């Protein structure tokens, strides 16, 4: 899948995983929403969870060969910033492995979001390839091995949410 980033540039450039992906020609950065291609938009405010069939065409929409992420600081991530064209989907429960948010659920950086989405969509080899550029990349897949496998086996968003709920309930015990 093609990886595209709506790039805000409001975080530390030395720690920016989107910029590093772009340096290795693994993702393309876009400075405006209009220039960002249509695709599956990874949006934490989306009402529907990402599921394995989301890249496939539906009666209403074409299939999507692109994943789109917004790269911005978590402090400035607002619903309006995700005004991008495409099929908006939220990632389910996953734990960050990056040094800034290590162990924090739902606080993924851009490469982790892409890798999680790629695994759910059945593109694990591509997920491993992009994570290989980061010292801690393999840790993301290790920390999230079971949920990523279970999400990838789901038939639809409702099943993904049910699996996610099991992890959330287990965390409350």
Give 137-173 pLDDT, tens digit per residue. Answer: 999 999 999 999 999 999 999 999 999 999 999 877 6
In this structure, what are the phi and psi dihedrals at residue 30, rounded to the nearest 5 degrees?
A: -130, 135
| pLDDT at residue 62 in the model | 66
Q: Predicted confidence band at 81 (pLDDT cuts at 50, 70, 90)?
A: low
Cite the annotated binding site for S-adenosyl-L-methionine by residue number.
Answer: 17, 70, 91, 110
| pLDDT at residue 75 in the model | 62
Q: Predicted confidence band at 124 (pLDDT cuts at 50, 70, 90)?
A: very high
Spatial distance between the Cα atoms of 126 and 103, rounded to a whole number of angstroms: 23
| Res 84 pLDDT > 90 | no
Number of domains forming the structure of the chain:
1
Cite the annotated binding site by residue number.
Answer: 17, 70, 91, 110
Q: Predicted confidence band at 73 (pLDDT cuts at 50, 70, 90)?
A: low
Give the tokens for residue 136.
């801690």
Domain of 83? 2-172
| pLDDT at residue 76 in the model | 61
| Res 3 pLDDT > 70 | yes
Q: Predicted confidence band at 85 (pLDDT cuts at 50, 70, 90)?
A: confident
Spatial distance between the Cα atoms of 168 and 92, rounded to a whole number of angstroms: 10
Per-residue b or e along 82-93, where b marks 16 or more CB atoms closer than 10 Å to that residue's CB: bebebbbbbbbb
């Amino acid at each position: 899948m093609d990886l595209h980033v709506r790039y805000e540039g409001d975080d530390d450039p030395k720690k920016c995983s989107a910029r590093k992906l772009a340096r290795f020609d693994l993702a393309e950065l876009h400075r405006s929403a209009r220039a960002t291609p249509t695709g599956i938009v990874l949006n934490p405010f989306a009402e529907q969870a990402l599921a394995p069939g989301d890249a496939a065409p539906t009666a209403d929409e074409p299939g999507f060969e692109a994943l789109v992420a917004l790269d911005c600081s978590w402090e400035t991530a607002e619903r309006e910033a995700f005004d991008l064209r495409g099929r908006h989907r939220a990632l389910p429960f996953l734990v960050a492995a990056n040094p800034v948010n290590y162990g924090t659920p739902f606080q993924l950086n851009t490469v982790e979001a892409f890798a999680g989405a790629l695994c759910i969509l059945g593109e694990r080899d591509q997920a491993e390839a992009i994570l290989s550029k980061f010292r801690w990349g393999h840790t993301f897949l290790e920390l999230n091995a079971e949920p990523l496998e279970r999400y990838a086996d789901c038939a639809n968003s409702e099943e993904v949410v049910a699996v996610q709920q099991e992890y959330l309930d287990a965390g409350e015990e």
